[in-house]
A and B are shown apart, each in its own frame.
Chain A
């Protein structure tokens, strides 16, 4: 069988903000001043409000100040705001998708979201609550995919079908965001001894 080949990826480059977060790049007023994905909560969203913040760190230990992150997650009931969600209607006050740059001075990223509910694995077992993360930047040739899990979901994490089949269990903590009040801290290490697990999705 012959199939078309997927368009090959290229780096997003240092000026990704112009196209994806134009206000951040200095193009005030473009698209009405609303950078797409800036607000995931659009009304009285159900569930626990949380903040996720951290840095994306290169192989020398330096935070990236020109990265862009996107997250995709279920709502508090475990439903996706997607036309292909077949199990029920997702919370209309929550988009499930967010996009944020890392700060140009500090390198910190920050998402305001809700804690997701559990979503099934293909065989019907439940996955632990998680958020898909996608990272692009100058020097990254193909967007990197990882997941955020939560430090206060210990029993769900230990039963998670994906986490439990990872051969090097000593690397699983790289996927667990550390809870501190209503904030979860999640640093992403691109390279080195603390390298975050990246997935081929």
Chain B
């Protein structure tokens, strides 16, 4: 980019598509949701820029959760899967160099976290976190095991669907996003109060990874496809022109 330009501002977020702050079916949101309106303003340099991470930061196994916490010669237990796809912006342009971080429970639904006391056992060869950075086509892939559903103290008998959490960075901090990926055909998806914080069924469907037999590793791992979309951005403008000119 030439000096004298500034980064373009991002498309307005659609707050009818995202979950609202107050979603009483998800009980913790009741005391943690702001009650006053968000105050809007167009991006300044602060929001239009953001940290960008280099591929050199990654270790060889950072995107392979079956091996990155396993003892030598061992591998995590559970259904082996490849989760892959593209990170795009709202104009379907690839977002290269986007950092994705993921975390998940093991095959039995147990998280390796000090505060998870679920009685399903830990897997000594599974940590549950990974990360990768998209290539120049916006493509990413991780290898992991399919997580199990787990119960949580919301209503007396609520269970989360199998899911993997994802944190994404684009090029500007206004694109920052954390979400969850679910798996095609899981009957818990329709029952889940966290899934149902999203008001629009079409929006929920975009978080469901689809079985992708064409990208399986035969006799090794099945594949699921998941594309992420980050906010689009307006064209760059000369700094000395008024906005919108």
Number of cross-chain contacts by CB at 8 Å? 270
**Among A81, A121, A142, A191, contact of B18 (Cβ-Cβ < 8 Å):** A142
Distance A80 CA – B3 CA, assembled complex (angstroms): 14
Contacts of B32 in A (CB 8 A): 58-59, 64, 137-140, 190-191
**Among A10, A16, A191, A196, contact of B31 (Cβ-Cβ < 8 Å):** A191
Question: B51 contacts A95, CB within 8 Å?
Answer: yes
Distance A183 CA – B86 CA, assembled complex (angstroms): 42
Number of interface residues of B (CB under 8 A): 95
Q: From B9, which residue of chain A is reached at the shortest CB distance? A: A122
Contacts of B130 in A (CB 8 A): 19
Given contacts A27-B69, A84-B172, A143-B178, contact A198 B38 (CB under 8 A): yes
Distance A138 CA – B28 CA, assembled complex (angstroms): 7
**B32 CB to closest chain A CB, in angstroms?**
4
Question: B18 contacts A22, CB within 8 Å?
Answer: no
Q: Is B243 an interface residue (CB 8 A)?
A: yes
**Among B62, B92, B194, contact of A4 (Cβ-Cβ < 8 Å):** B92
Given contacts A84-B171, A132-B173, contact A9 B51 (CB under 8 A): no
Using an 8 Å CB-CB cutoff, how does the interface string of A62-80 with B read, 1 for contact, 0 for none? 1010100010111000001
Question: B6 contacts A16, CB within 8 Å?
Answer: no
Distance A197 CA – B39 CA, assembled complex (angstroms): 7
**A62 CB to closest chain B CB, in angstroms?**
8
- Which DSSP category, helix, strand, loop or mixed, fits chain B's interface? loop
**B153 CB to closest chain A CB, in angstroms?**
10
**Among B47, B102, B176, contact of A19 (Cβ-Cβ < 8 Å):** B102
Given contacts A86-B6, A87-B3, contact A201 B14 (CB under 8 A): no
**A84 CB to closest chain B CB, in angstroms?**
4
Question: A9 contacts B3, CB within 8 Å?
Answer: no
**B200 CB to closest chain A CB, in angstroms?**
8
Q: Is A153 an interface residue (CB 8 A)?
A: no
Q: Is B74 an interface residue (CB 8 A)?
A: no
**A81 CB to closest chain B CB, in angstroms?**
7
Using an 8 Å CB-CB cutoff, how does the interface string of B189-219 with A read, 1 for contact, 0 for none? 0000011011000111011000000000000
**B145 CB to closest chain A CB, in angstroms?**
15
Given contacts A6-B230, A195-B34, contact A82 B103 (CB under 8 A): no
Q: Which of chain A's residues 98-138 have a Cβ closer than 8 Å to chain B?
A: 104, 119-124, 127, 130, 132, 134, 136-138
Contacts of B131 in A (CB 8 A): 19, 31
**Besides the contacts A84-B48, A134-B176, A200-B13, what 19 more A-B pairs have beta carbons closer than 8 Å?**
A5-B229, A6-B177, A7-B179, A10-B194, A15-B165, A18-B127, A19-B102, A25-B114, A31-B62, A86-B1, A86-B7, A122-B42, A132-B46, A166-B39, A191-B31, A197-B36, A199-B38, A199-B40, A200-B39
29 sample A-B contacts, Cβ–Cβ < 8 Å, listed by A number: A3-B91, A4-B91, A5-B206, A6-B18, A8-B18, A8-B179, A11-B180, A17-B113, A20-B167, A22-B129, A31-B62, A58-B31, A66-B115, A73-B46, A80-B49, A83-B171, A84-B171, A84-B172, A86-B5, A86-B7, A121-B44, A124-B239, A139-B26, A139-B31, A141-B19, A190-B34, A191-B32, A198-B36, A199-B40
